[in-house]
Structure 1
Amino acid sequence: MLCTHDATKQRLLDTFSIPKDISIKSHSAETRGSETVHRLEWSDGHESEYSRSFLYQAMFDARRKAVQRQALVGIKLWDSSIASDPPKTLYVNAMNPNSNDLLSRLRRFGFCYVDETSFENPKATKKMLEKIAFIRETHYGGFYDFTADLASKDTAYTNIALEAHTDTTYFSDPAGLQAFHLLSHTDGEGGASLLVDGFKAADELWHTDRKAYEILSTVNVHGHASGNEGISIQPYRGFPVLEHDTATGDLLRVRWNTSDRASIELPIEEVETWYDAARKFDAILKKKENEYWEQLVPGRVLIFDNWRVLHGRSSFTGKRRICGAYINRDDWISKFKMRRFGKENVLKGLAVN
C-alpha cells in the first residue's frame, strides 16, 4: 500500500507524476482465499494490485454507487396514516454504540421518536444526540434550551402557528437532522407538532404536474436570516426547492421555507411561473391526508431529517420549554453507513464513489 496511507486512507501518490502515455506492461492473477487478485506492472515500473471485488464495484452504474454514497436503502414514503404506528425507539437503544435502530428509522422514514428520555435534565437529550454525531453550532448557538421569549429573532421563538417548512434554507449547507424535546408545558395548551414527508409530496407533484416539478427542480431560490443583530446569513448561491443527485436523478433535498425566502432567480416577467408551480406544491403539503399531527410530550424526543421532512406547529398558550439541536447531514449519514455496511465495504467503494 505504497500509494495510500494505511492509517489515514489518504492518497500518497502524486497523480500528476504519472506519465500521460502510461500503459500496462504485464498482468497476472492469483487466488487469495475467496478473492481473486489482479497484479499489474505498468510501463513506468510501478506495480498495482486490484481485487476482483474492487474492479467489480468500478463497473457499477451510478444508482448502485449512490446506494453506498448516500446510503439509499429502504426509503419509505408516508402520509397522515403513519400516526397509527410512527417510527420509534428507546433511549437505551439510541445510546447503544452497536445499535443502528435509530439511524435506520431516520433513513427509512425521515423521522423517529426516542422514548423514555429523561426530561428532568436536558443533558440526557444532548448526550443522546451526540451519540449520533457532533452538534452543529449556528448563530443560535449549539444545543438549544429555550422558551417562546424571542431571545433569538425567529418565529420559532414565538407562540404563533408555523406552517410546514424546512429549517436553515438560508445556509449553503442546511442542517441535516433536527431534534425537539418538549421538557415542559405549563399554564396553557396547544402547540401540536406537524410533520409532512417532503419526498412524498414531491412524488405526488411529479405524478400530477410534471412541468411544475421541473420548475421547482431547476429555478434557484434565495434565502436569508436577518433577524438577529449584526447578522444577515445568505447561501453563496440560490438553490431549487427540489434538489436532485446529478448522477442518479434521485431527489436529495427539499428546501421550503416561505418565511425565509428571498428572491426568485427568474426575469420579472417569468417569476409567475415559479409561483404557479409553488402554489401546487404548497397545496399538496397542506392536504389533510399528508399532514401528520402529534402532541409532543416530555420524555419523547422527536428527531427528523431536515433534508426531507417538513415540520411546523399549531399556536399555543402558556409556557413551553424545548431543547434540541442540529446535526450535520454528512456526519449522520456517515455514522449510518458505517454501521449499515461496515467500514471495509464503505472503503472499498471510495475509489469509484
Structure 2
Amino acid sequence: MHKLPDNIQPSRWKVGENGLEVQWLHDSHLSFYNWDFLETYIKGERPEPENVPLKYFGAAGHPDSSIEYEEFGKNERQAVGRLTDMIRRNGFALVTGVPTETAATTEDLLEKITFIRRTHYGGFYDFIPDLALADAAYTNEPLPVHTDNTYFSDPAGIQAFHLLSHTDPSSGGGSETTLGGETLLVDGFYAAELLRKECPDSFNTLASFRFPCHASGNEGIAISPDMLYPVLELDLDQNTVHRIRWNPNDRGVIPLGEDTMKWYEAEKKYHEILRREELVYQFQLKPGTVLIFDNWRVLHGRTAFTGMRRICGGYLNRDDFISRWRNTNFGKREIFRQVIGE
C-alpha cells in the first residue's frame, strides 16, 4: 500500500488501491489522483522527458532528412509531425519543392510549425547582402560554422533559410553551383562527444567556464544575456549537452583567471574538431529547398560567394517548436506524462 509523506496534510483523504481521494477544506471539493501520477512527485523526481535517441550526422548528412512541400497540402498535421521529428532527432530537415515566386510561401511554411520570433533584426527576414546591417551574415564573405543568438538569454531554438535566387548580373548569368555560397552544417553535439572522448578535460572546461557575449554593432542595440554562459550547456544531470553557444564574433572579453589558458586550449581543440572534413556537411542550397535546423545543436556557416543572393527565413522559439513536435507526434496521454507526469 502507498503511503503519503508525513508533511502532506490535506483536510481529509482516502488512500485506495488505485489512487488517493482528497477533500479540500475551502470548498469540500473531491479530487482523485492515481498512483502513476503521484509516484513521481512522492519520490521527488521530475516527469520523465521524451526518450529521443539523437542521430548524429557527418559529411554525408542524413539519408532521411527531407520532405516534399506538397505533403503539407495533403495532411498538414502529419507532415508537420514528420518535419519536426526529423529536426528533433537529426538536427535538421530539408523541405523540397517549395515555390519561390514569393517569400510568403516560406513564411507560411514556418508558421505551420509555430509563430516566427522577432529580434532586433525583425521577424521573418528576406534580404540581400547589405553592409548597413552590421552583421557578417549580410556580406558575401565566408562564414565559419557558428550558432546564432549567443547574446540572448534564450537563443532561438530553430532557424530556417531559403535561397530564393542567386544570380551574377556582371557575368551574364551563372548558376548556384558556380557562384559559391555553399551551406556548411556541423553536428555540434557529435563534435562535443568526440571532444569528451578525446580530451575530457577540455570538454569539462567548455562546460564550466563562463564568458560574456553581446550584440552591439547596430545603432541603439546593446544586447547581452542575463548571465555568463559556457560554450557547452549540460542538462540537469550534468551528463548530456543540452545547448551550444559558439560564435567568436559575438564574444566579449574572456575573463582572466587561473582557468583562462585552459579555456583557450579547450576552445582550440573544439575548433579543430568542428573543422574536420568528416564532420562538415557541405552542400549547395537551391531555390525551392528550405533548410530548417536546431540552432541549439547544429552549427551553420557558408563558403564565400559572388553575385547576388536573396535569402529568406526566420527564427522559431524552442519551447513552441517542442510543443508542436509533441502534439503532432504523441497522443494526449503520452504528452501529459512527459509534461506533468500523469
TM-score scaled by length of structure 1: 0.84
**Residue matched to 2:21:** 39
Per-residue CA deviation, residues 215-240 of structure 1 (Å, 9 max, x unaligned), is 00011121111111111211121101
Question: Does the CA contact (< 8 Å) of 1:192 and 1:294 recur in 2?
Answer: yes
Compute the displacement of 1:348 (Å).
Answer: 4.2
Report matched runs for 1:224-239 at 5 Å. Answer: 224-239=214-229
Partner in structure 2 of residue 75 of structure 1: 54
Whole-angstrom distance in 2 between the partners of 1:346 and 1:199: 25
Is the Cα contact below 8 Å between 2:167 and 2:308 reproduced in 1?
yes
Checking the alignment, whether the CA contact within 8 Å between 2:21 and 2:30 is kept in structure 1 is yes
Which amino acid in structure 1 is aligned with residue 38 of structure 2? L
Tell me how far apart the structure 1 counterparts of residues 77 and 8 of structure 2 sit (CA, whole Å).
Answer: 49
2:67 match: 89
Q: Residues 63, 81 of structure 1: CA spacing in aligned structure 2 closer, same or farther, 3 A cutoff?
A: farther
Q: What is the letter of the counterpart of residue 48 of structure 1?
A: S
Cα contact 1:238–1:265 (8 A) shared by 2: no
Q: Which residue of 2 aligns with 1:213?
A: 203
Residue deviations 1:168-215 (CA, integer Å, cap 9, x gap): 101111111110000000015000000000000000001111110000
Q: In 2, distance between residues paired with 1:248 and 1:212?
A: 15
* Equivalent in the alignment of 1:111: 92
1:280 aligns with 2:269: yes
Helix, strand or coil for the counterpart of 1:337?
helix
Question: What's the offset of the Cα at 1:330?
Answer: 0.7
State the Cα distance separating 1:22 from its structure 2 match.
1.8
Partners in 2 of 1:248 and 1:59 — Cα distance?
23
Q: Which residue of the other structure, out of 279, 285, 302, is the alignment partner of 1:290?
A: 279
Distance 1:86 1:315, change over 3 A: farther
Partner of 2:49: 66
What pairs up with 1:331-346 in 2 under 5 angstroms?
331-346=320-335
Q: Does 1:330 align with 2:302?
A: no
The correspondence of residues 190-205 of structure 1 with structure 2, limited to 5 A, is 190-205=180-195
Cα 1:350–1:109 change in 2 (3 A) is: closer
Q: Would you say the 8 A contact 1:93–1:102 is kept in 2?
A: no
- Tell me the CA shift for residue 24 of structure 1: 8.0
Distance change (3 Å), C-alpha of 1:302 and 1:350: closer
Letter of the structure 2 residue corresponding to residue 27 of structure 1: K
Look up the equivalent residue of 1:263 and give its one-letter code. V
Q: Would you say 1:27 and 2:14 are equivalent positions?
A: yes
Deviates more, 1:165-174 or 1:333-342: 333-342
1:80–1:319 Cα change, 3 Å? same
Q: Structure 2: how far apart are the matches of 1:270 and 1:110? A: 32
Q: Taking structure 2 as the reference length, what is the TM-score of the superposition?
A: 0.87
How far apart, in 2, do the equivalents of 1:60 and 1:309 lie? 36
Q: Which ranges of structure 1 fall in alignment gaps of 5 or more residues?
A: 1-18, 31-35
Aligned CA distance change for structure 1 residues 29 and 153 (closer, same or farther; 3 Å): same
2:167 to 174, 186, 189: 186
CA distance in 1, matches of 2:41, 2:302: 46
Work out whether 1:125 is the aligned partner of 2:106.
yes
What's the counterpart of residue 155 of structure 1?
Answer: 136
**Matches of 2:256 and 2:331, distance apart in 1:** 45
Identical amino acids, percent of aligned pairs: 45
Distance in 2, Cα, partners of 1:94 & 1:284: 37
Count of residues in correspondence between the two structures? 324
How far, CA to CA, are the matches of 2:330 and 2:193 in structure 1? 28
Per mean C-alpha deviation after superposition, the further-off stretch among 210-219 and 231-240 is 231-240
Deviation track 1:116-143 (CA, whole Å, cap 9, x = no partner) reads: 1011111000000001111010111100
Q: Which stretch shows the higher mean deviation, 206-215 or 244-253? A: 244-253
SS in 2 for 1:317: coil
Q: How far apart, in 1, do the equivalents of 2:299 and 2:250 lie?
A: 14
Partners of 1:191 and 1:62 in 2: CA distance: 48
Give the match for residue 171 of structure 2.
none
Worse overlay, 239-248 or 276-285? 239-248
1:286-345 CA-partner distances (Å, limit 9, x unpaired): 000000001000000000000000000000000000000000111101111122223333
Q: CA deviation at 1:151?
A: 4.0
Per the TM alignment, residue 346 of structure 1 is displaced from its structure 2 partner at its CA by 2.2
**2:33 alignment partner in structure 1:** 50
Is the contact between residue 217 and residue 242 of structure 1 (CA under 8 Å) also seen in structure 2? Answer: yes
Structure 2 CA distance for aligned equivalents of residues 252 and 62 of structure 1: 19
C-alpha distance in structure 2 between counterparts of 1:102 and 1:351, whole Å: 25
Q: How does 1:313-328 map to 2 (within 5 A)?
A: 313-328=302-317
SS of alignment partner, residue 256 of structure 1: coil
CA apart distance, 1:73:
1.0
Q: Distance in 2 between matches of 1:160 and 1:197?
A: 22
Separation in 1, partners of 2:162, 2:25: 62
What is the match of residue 308 of structure 1?
A: 297
CA-based RMSD of the aligned residues comes to 2.5
Residues 151 and 323 of structure 1: is their aligned pair in 2 closer, same or farther, counting only changes over 3 Å?
farther
